[in-house]
Every structure is written in structure tokens, then in C-alpha cells.
A = this chain, B = another copy of it.
């Protein structure tokens, strides 16, 4: 028979405080050193744990950084600003502010680069980061449909395709502007972008 506590495992449980300290130390190291100079030994020292403890919990640098960055995306919300246009502008500005943080920038891009050759890593990123953003698109559409700003979808397959398209356009444009063009995602840009997007969706 299985115990009811700690998933039935006996023995000393893993320290939750250590987890938090390690992830915070990882983000701090990303800010100071960037991806390439970040070493797991350094992270362990910063977090005040032994290097072996770190290797017991994460398979490597990739997985660790994914988890460290994923926590940042917990902050994303979809505020109700009354209209679809205002909702889009709000969430885009939020997303851009997140991407402007150096730990998010360098960490996210680096693990995405690694994920091009590692399917398990890509799935991990999708589950803990990308899907979290995608939900905002779905929520935003549902809210706009309730308001009557968007027509109700008839074909669910087509609806999913459109949602995917919007997601790639919105997230892609913000990421490209911020990380590749390296120019600010300010209110003026967001306003122009939102106008383009809504016009494009009006057909």
C-alpha cells in the first residue's frame, strides 16, 4: 500500500528552497554572464548548494535554463481593457517587457537554439513556455467573441489554424523587433502593429 505524502516516497525529501535558490541563481548568472559563460558549478556556488545536488535534479544546462526562464512567464496575464485592440496592445507590451529582461533574452534564445537539435528539449520548452503564451491568444479571441468584436468560429479546424497564425505573427513580430532588430517595442510601434493585425483579420 502506498503512503499519502510526498508521492509515496520514503526518506529525506528534496529541499524546495534549494530549487528556488538554484533557479534564482541561474537567472542571476544569465544576467551577469550570459548563456555561454554560465557554468553549472558557478550556479551551484551562487545558490549555496553542492554541484552534485544540481546534477541530481536537472540533466544539464539546457533543462535548467528552461525551468529558470519558464518561471518568468508565469507573470503574463491578459488584462481586460475593454476592447480587442486595447487587449492586444496590453499583452504585447507585457510580452515585450518580459523579453527586454536580459535573463529572458539570452536564456530563451539559447535554449531555442539548442532545441533545434533536441526534440525532448523543444517539447519541454513548448509545454512550459510557449503554450503559456498561446493561451493568451485563445483567451483574447474568446473574450472578443463575447463582446461581438469577432465572429464566432464555425469550423474548429479552421479556427485552430487561424489562432496558430495569429500566435506566430504576434509573438514572432515582437521577438524579431526586440531581439533581432534590437529596437524598442514602444507604444507607437505596438499601436501600428495592432492596427495592421486587426485590419488583416477583418476579412
Whether A130 sits at the interface, judged by CB under 8 Å, is: yes
Contact A183 B164 (CB under 8 A): yes
Q: Is the interface of A mostly helix, strand, loop or mixed?
A: helix
Please determine whether A113 and B106 come into contact, CB atoms closer than 8 angstroms. yes
Comparing A3-11, A138-146, A192-200, the segment that makes contact with chain B is A192-200
A202 within 8 A of B: yes
Partner of A117, one of B106, B112, B176: B106
A103-153 contacts to B, CB under 8 A, are 105-106, 109-110, 112-114, 116-117, 122, 126, 130
Q: Give A77 to B34 CA distance when docked, in angstroms.
A: 35
Bound-state Cα–Cα, A57 to B91, Å = 45
Is B196 a contact partner of A169 (Cβ separation < 8 A)? Answer: yes
The answer to whether B171 touches A176 (Cβ under 8 A) is yes
Q: How far is the CA of A26 from the CA of B110 in the complex (A)?
A: 19
A202's contact among B171, B183, B199, by CB below 8 Å, is which?
A: B199
A-B contact pairs, 11 of them (CB 8 A): A109-B109, A113-B113, A116-B179, A130-B180, A162-B192, A171-B176, A172-B173, A175-B176, A195-B203, A199-B200, A200-B200
